[in-house]
Amino acid sequence: MAKKKKNEKEEIIYAPARLQPITETIEKNYMPYVMSVILSRAIPEIDGLKPAHRKLLYTMYKMGLLTSSNRTKSANVVGQTMKLNPHGDMAIYETMVRLTRDNETLLHPLVDSKGAFGKQYSSDMKFAAPRYTEVKLEAFCAELFRGIDKDAVDMIDNYDGTMKEPVLLPTSYPNVLVMPNSGIAVGMASDICSFNLAEVCDGTVALLKNPKLSTEKLMEYIKAPDFSGGAILAYNQEQMREIFETGQGSVRLRARYVYDKANNCIDIIQIPYSTTVEQIMRKLTEMVKENKLKDVTDFRDEIDRNGFKLTLDIRRGVDPDRLMLKLFKQTPLESNFKCNFNVLIDAAPRQLGVKDILLEWIRFRLGCVRREMTYDLARKKEKLHLLLGLGKILLDIDKAIRIIRKTEEDEKVIPNLMAGFSIDEIQANYIADIKLRNLNKRYILDRISEIEELQKQIAEMEGILADEYKLKNVIAKQLTAIKQKYAQPRRTLVVPEAELAEYDESEEPVENIPVHIMLTREGYFKKMSLRSNLEISDQKVKDGDRVVAAMNCNSTDELIFFSDRAQMFRAKVADYEITKAAQLGDFLPTDLKMAEGERPVKMFIQNEYPEKDHFVFLFANGKGVRVSTAAYEIKGNRKKLTGAYSSAAPNVGVFYEKANKPIELLLVSEDNRAIFIKSSLLPEMSTRSASGTQIIQLKKGTKLKLALELNSEANTALYEEAKGFRKLKVPATAAEIKSSALLESIKDQ
């Protein structure tokens, strides 16, 4: 920026901004943010905690809330935590809420709570403000902090350098697998489900004894995830093995329920961990509005102090088990928990399976126990050193007293004791600090009696520190003790997937009601109530489209559709929802998964396929054929039949002929020439794709453009005119249409 000289008009000149390459922007601005989110916020570490959890729990530990018998206000804890975690009070409080006993998120809650803390299974049940609630640490948290005051983990400065905080907590059990955790970072996420504490302890002990333990053997100890909300886990061994080996996969959870026969209602008492009661009720409400839940008369949330309960009142005679299978299929009462075990190992995110996580935890825990034992060893050696010095003065207590009494200057007491008993400065300081009343033989004998036990303990600890197998044995004993003290029965019931019944929609009884159906030329299908069809004659269709087929049927009927690509598709009337006349309806090419550009040309109600009934096909080249309907019966649930008729020439018409009841057909060529025949004149073929025989003689260069089924009762005038083109044999020569009335009728088709 430059300025002009004095007396000149001041003008500010700005230098042009330097253009920053996108790579430099990403490297200097974006990447530090990415790393901060991954390392300091969203992904848990090997102790099973995110930084926010760790800072909160350590603050409560330093506040004495582990050993205290009294709780303190949550607001007090939140305020103290801000010394380590510079975030808003609500963010810290929400972190605490998830760890509380009352919230029911964890199998083993870390915070003993009093007050309203919401529920994991409800998004609407809110927690009270922190000024109303009270907390302290659960006794179980002692296992998180074991050895933290004995240099078990590194301590670092907090954000402003005024306090120390642990890098990790020295958890004495694999909390990373016992505490569920989820987080979304940048470019990665973590979703860790909880496992049963007893099973995890057993599996870890087995790995301590044999680090090469196979996945199959480990799965014998750790059966499957165990969720605080209980529910039923559909066990699939291959999927579970994938989770154990790769840390990725999903587990299917299903709600648990009981049928109250006296009140004819279903009480849902446990739901999947990954859903909420509000999500379930919204889906049930939606199904009621869409008339898909006729068997349920009412449903309500009956959650109280006794726990979770969602009650469904059902109609008399309804099978509750079958109804629940339907709800499992169509509502969040059955949902999946997607596992993605991303964990920070040595400040680097890694995706690990269950076995690898346990091996990494063992490596971490070995370091903690080694440091803790080294700390204890140093303290014992210090004590032994002092007692050995004390033992030397036992030989001449009077001499020690005399040295102290005769030393005229205070600073010379220590050197004189050192010289008098051949001890070092530390020992001399210890002896000098002993009260005069304790300088007697009994006191000194009582103290030095510990020397032998201390020497034995030191030797034992040195032996353990020198042998990793012995260190692992220490960890195994701790895990066994933790299991005996804190283990709980499994909450989530594990059931083999093959033993769980599944909902089969095809077996669902369909209410048999009369309906009206129609098909348009472009492929739109409508299903309407008979009343709606009678009340509204003006059906909505797209511009240029028109209705080509309309009929009454029952909701239990089956339909078949022939397409313009020589394919046949099968569907059920019940597959489609009742629509209004003002709606376009369902687009069949999409619903039936037709090829691009393919359209349905004919629709039939087809519940049976009698061998003596026929489909009649007429083609643009003037040929025709009859094929038994038995050739079109599809076994099983297959929806599509390829090669339904000949594709040698474009199809002009498809008709249905009942046994011994031939239909009458008017065939019209492009040059408006026609013949009128009975379908019985067409040859019957056993092959669906037969091209048939010539029915109408066409002039060179012309094609058959239209085939109409005529009925003397439905359209008497048109039928009478068509009688003039009657032919009794085929192939037949077409006669020219001269009647203007007949030509106009043909134009409308």
Cα–Cα nearest to 268, from 201, 338, 334: 334
Task: State the Rg of the chain over Cα.
Answer: 43
Residue 563 near residue 529 (C-beta atoms within 8 A): no
Name, in order, each residue with C-beta under 8 angstroms of 575's C-beta and a sequence gap of 6 or more.
none
**Torsional class of 115: left (φ above 0), alpha (ψ -120 to 50), beta (otherwise):** left
Q: Which amino acid is at 161?
A: G
- Give catalytic status of residue 173 as yes or no: no
Output the six-digit token pair for 40. Answer: 């300091």
Residue type, 73: K
Task: Record the tokens describing residue 134, joined without a space.
Answer: 């009270």
Give yes or no for a contact between 89 and 122, defined as CB atoms under 8 angstroms apart: no
Residue from 14, 132, 221, 503 carrying the catalytic annotation: 132
Q: How far, in Å, CA of 255 to CA of 69, rounded?
A: 38
CA distance 698 to 321: 65
Q: Do residues 731 and 694 make contact, with C-beta atoms less than 8 angstroms apart?
A: yes
Q: Which of 287, 256, 258, 255 is nearest to 274 (CA)?
A: 255
Sign for the CA dihedral angle at 595, 598, 599, 600 comes to negative
**3-state DSSP assignment of residue 733:** strand
Which are the contacts of 9, defined by CB distance < 8 A and separation ≥ 6? none
- The DSSP line for 649-709 is S-EEEEEEEBTTB--EEEEEETTSEEEEEEGGGSPEESSTT---EE-EE--TT--EEEEEE
Query: In whole angstroms, what is the distance from residue 677 CA to residue 704 CA?
Result: 14
Q: What is the largest CA-CA distance in the chain?
A: 153
For residue 496, the SS3 value is strand
Active-site residues, by number, are 132
